[in-house]
Amino acid sequence: MSKPEREFQLPGGPWAVPEGADRGVEERELALDPATGSRTALVRWAPGTDTSAQGVARHDFWEEVYLLEGGLHDLTLDATFTAGMYACRPPGMPHGPWTSGDGVTMLVITYPGDPAA
């Protein structure tokens, strides 16, 4: 199985609050491969979103993030990242916590890590 075949379209469907997400975080799934867990989604954070309570994040999967609008401030790095910036995180890479004063919209692609890594 793989992600669905789709030609250009406007993303539809509802914005949903992901399980365990901080207040102000919503996502709209664009594509999912149920067999592998590979996933593409739009993720948006409302102005004032703060993920401090969850601390530094680590995942057991690869994650790519492209900032479409707005920006994020990484509290650990004391650095702000804005629209047009990109991150590629291997499994286990620490990142965050984050705040977003004005809100942010991101394209997020996740896919399973290499078991040999």
Which residue segments constitute the domains of the chain, with CATH numbers given? 39-112 (2.60.120.10)
Mean pLDDT along residues 10-30? 90
Confidence of residue 71 (pLDDT cuts 50, 70, 90): very high
In angstroms, the CA 97 to CA 73 distance is 8
Instruction: Decide if pLDDT at 104 tops 60.
Output: yes
Higher pLDDT pick, 104 / 10: 104
Higher pLDDT pick, 110 / 10: 110
Instruction: Decide if pLDDT at 68 tops 70.
Output: yes
Look-up of token digits 């996740």: 110
> Is the CB of residue 50 less than 8 Å from the CB of residue 16?
no
**Extended beta strands in the chain, E state:** 25-32, 39-45, 49-50, 61-74, 79-82, 86-89, 98-100, 104-112
Q: How many CB atoms sit inside 10 A of residue 26's CB?
A: 17
In angstroms, the CA 4 to CA 24 distance is 29
Instruction: Decide if pLDDT at 117 tops 70.
Output: no
Res 1: pLDDT: 57
Confidence of residue 41 (pLDDT cuts 50, 70, 90): very high
Res 83: pLDDT: 98
Confidence of residue 5 (pLDDT cuts 50, 70, 90): confident
Q: What is the largest distance, in Å, between two alpha-carbon atoms of the chain?
A: 41
